[in-house]
């Protein structure tokens, strides 16, 4: 299923890099975000999506339909309810769905690329339409030129290389030595 989280802005503050540079940051209160509904193509909805809720609200400040909708999911009414739609492109080797994610009609992947918060992973380019492929590549190029998000760093490390380095550096823990004379 889709990894998603809702939150709200709490305020602004600063953090300091190891070099002593002050960086402004936004503080966000995120989650918990219970799944209120799962929509599937084979049901009456006709598309794949999940509906998430965030921030409890007192029942008297909600409507009866929203109370009933949240009650089906075993939770109370929520202040924010968002639908995250998934346009499935294919199923991968492991049986997982590969697709594009839309939040309120906006392509979440494209928005992250434009903000410099993601890499354009070219391995999956063949799964995209040519126009979409160009939009993704151009969004990353523009973010790099404007030095947004992760492109502020002098030498950003792609996530697939970071994970490979982490796997190489973490050896599996060895089993504790057991003395057969004291083991019971």
**pLDDT tens readout for residues 116-154:** 988 888 887 888 889 989 999 999 999 999 999 889 888
**pLDDT tens readout for residues 44-86:** 777 788 888 999 999 999 999 899 988 998 999 999 998 888 8
User: In the 8-state DSSP scheme, what is residue 179?
Assistant: -
State the burial class of residue 63 (Cβ atoms within 10 Å of its Cβ: 0-12, 13-18, 19+): exposed
Neighbours of 101 (CB within 10 A): 19
Q: How confident is the model at residue 184 (pLDDT cuts 50, 70, 90)?
A: very low
- What is the torsional sign of CA 93, 111, 52, 46? negative
pLDDT at 58: 93
Tell me what the mean pLDDT of segment 141-168 comes to. Answer: 88
**172 pLDDT above the threshold of 60:** no
Whole-model pTM above 0.75? no
Which listed CATH number (3.30.160.810, 3.40.50.880, 1.10.1040.10, 3.40.630.30) goes with 32-104?
3.30.160.810
Q: How confident is the model at residue 18 (pLDDT cuts 50, 70, 90)?
A: confident
Tell me what the mean pLDDT of segment 18-23 comes to. Answer: 87
Tell me where in the chain the CATH 3.30.160.810 domain(s) lie.
32-104
Q: How confident is the model at residue 14 (pLDDT cuts 50, 70, 90)?
A: very high
Neighbours of 33 (CB within 10 A): 18
| Buried-exposed string 103-142: b where 16+ CB fall within 10 A, e elsewhere | beeebbbbebbbebebbbeeeeeeebeeeebebbeebbee
How far apart are the C-alpha atoms of 143 and 111, rounded to whole Å? 11
pLDDT at 183: 46
């Amino acid at each position: 299923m889709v990894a998603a989280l809702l939150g709200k802005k709490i305020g602004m503050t600063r953090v300091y890099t190891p070099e002593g540079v002050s960086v402004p940051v936004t503080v966000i209160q995120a989650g918990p975000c219970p799944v209120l509904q799962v929509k599937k193509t084979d049901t009456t909805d006709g598309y794949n999506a999940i509906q998430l809720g965030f921030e409890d609200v007192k029942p008297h400040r909600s409507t009866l339909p929203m109370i009933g909708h949240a009650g089906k999911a075993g939770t109370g009414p929520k202040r924010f309810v968002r639908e995250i739609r998934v346009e499935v492109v294919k199923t991968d080797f492991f049986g997982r769905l590969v697709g594009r994610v839309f939040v309120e009609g906006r392509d979440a992947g494209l928005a992250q690329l434009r903000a410099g918060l993601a890499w354009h992973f070219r391995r999956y380019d063949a799964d995209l339409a040519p126009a979409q492929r160009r939009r993704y590549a151009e969004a990353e190029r523009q973010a790099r030129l404007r030095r947004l998000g992760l492109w502020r760093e002098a030498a950003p490390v792609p996530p697939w290389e970071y994970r490979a380095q982490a796997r190489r550096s973490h050896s599996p823990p060895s089993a504790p030595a057991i003395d057969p004379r004291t083991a019971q």
